[in-house]
Chains A and B, each alone.
Chain A
């Protein structure tokens, strides 16, 4: 409201605190009350039934390091360091069976516990409380976000690693005789796995100088057009390396699929089961298997 002499008074008292000063004050408060606030947080965690996979001692130990990192992130705003810490923490707790909602949950609980303590401290100075919250809230939210993202990134990394391991384990190329390879396929074949299979087989043919390959798909439940074509391509590529492929173990469903989608079965040498396939392979290679005695 303008005064009569033509100047105007400010609408509120001049701000005498910078946002970074407020943040420092806030951080100091959180450090001073560290023990109490951390304890309160752990109680809330237990009440909300989070981190049930961990013991109370373990929760307390992790809580201490999370609390300190939280306060440090508020102080330094070094969010990359926080994300690295989050990934590190995740690497430790994911094998313990901790889920994403638990990690996000406990970080939000900490945010709330600290916010409440700010309400309590500045309850008599509403304006100051507002300014403190103006400094606290964006930082706290960014922390929650950063930790959640770090956790999820770590989970995704672990999943990719496991998928890779499964893929490698599940496509063994086995030499059972000189010049004879067997490739038993089990489970679901997606285009990526089909491609990996082909590459592994071709390398195996070259390394083992195989002349016959038996691909057994007894363990494969279903096959779509893409994968069926991949199989045909595998047979053709093997021939380019001088190897004959015998496919065994086609289930009635897969046989139906192949016929229906019009795969050129003239290009494929098929035998009913693995045993028959191996016997034919041995014949092709010039082996004769003779029984000399009864099993003991």
Chain B
């Protein structure tokens, strides 16, 4: 399944679809980092609004993506986690520790703006 990745200036926006297989997630992991390299992006926003379930594999993959992207000097923000999904995740102990999160795309961009302002 193709995950659309849009470029918004120095930010890449990847919109995850509802039913991503483990294979899709693995592909994304490499694909996103390659895109960051190609466009010299400063940040990636991963929008998971459409995901109504987040298992441990997906959660771990997101953390790995964030770590790999940070090694390229870029920031990752996960946005759009649904209340029910968030609740289920913390009960399983999947806290996405060390990864920035925001309510939605708008908030994610606002967060990055603030961050870029202070680091410039």
Interface residues of A (CB under 8 A from B): 198-199, 202-203, 205-206, 209, 211, 233-234, 236-243
Contacts and interface: CB of A to CB of B under 8 A. Distances in A.
A233 B107 contact: no
Contact of A240 (B81, B107, B111): B81
A242 B104 CA distance: 8
Contact of A236 (B79, B95, B102): B95
Given A202-B83, A203-B83, A205-B83, A243 B90 contact: no
Given A202-B87, A242-B79, 13 more contacts: A198-B87, A199-B84, A202-B86, A206-B82, A233-B91, A234-B90, A236-B90, A237-B83, A237-B89, A240-B86, A240-B95, A240-B101, A242-B107
A211 B103 CA distance: 9
25 contacts: A198-B87, A199-B84, A202-B83, A202-B84, A202-B86, A202-B87, A205-B83, A206-B83, A209-B103, A209-B107, A236-B90, A237-B83, A237-B87, A238-B86, A240-B78, A240-B86, A240-B89, A240-B96, A241-B81, A241-B83, A241-B101, A242-B79, A242-B101, A242-B103, A242-B111
B103 A206 contact: yes
Contacts of A209: 103, 107
A206 B96 CA distance: 19
- By CB atoms of chain B within 10 A, which of A236, A238, A240 has the most? A240
Contacts, number: 51
Q: Give chain B's interface residue range (CB within 8 Å of chain A).
A: 10 to 19
B103 A205 contact: yes
Contacts of A211: 107
Interface in B9-43: none
Interface in B70-111: 78-79, 81-84, 86-87, 89-91, 95-96, 101-103, 107, 111
Q: For the complex, would chain A's binding face be called helix, strand, loop or mixed by DSSP majority?
A: helix
A264 to B, nearest CB: 11
Given A205-B103, A206-B103, A241 B87 contact: no
Contacts of B87: 198-199, 202, 233, 237
B79 to A, nearest CB: 7
B16 to A, nearest CB: 15
A151 to B, nearest CB: 39
A243 B83 contact: no
B95 to A, nearest CB: 5
Contacts of A198: 87
Nearest to A243: B103
Given A209-B103, A209-B107, A240 B79 contact: no
Contacts of B103: 205-206, 209, 241-243
A209 to B, nearest CB: 6
Contacts of A205: 83, 103
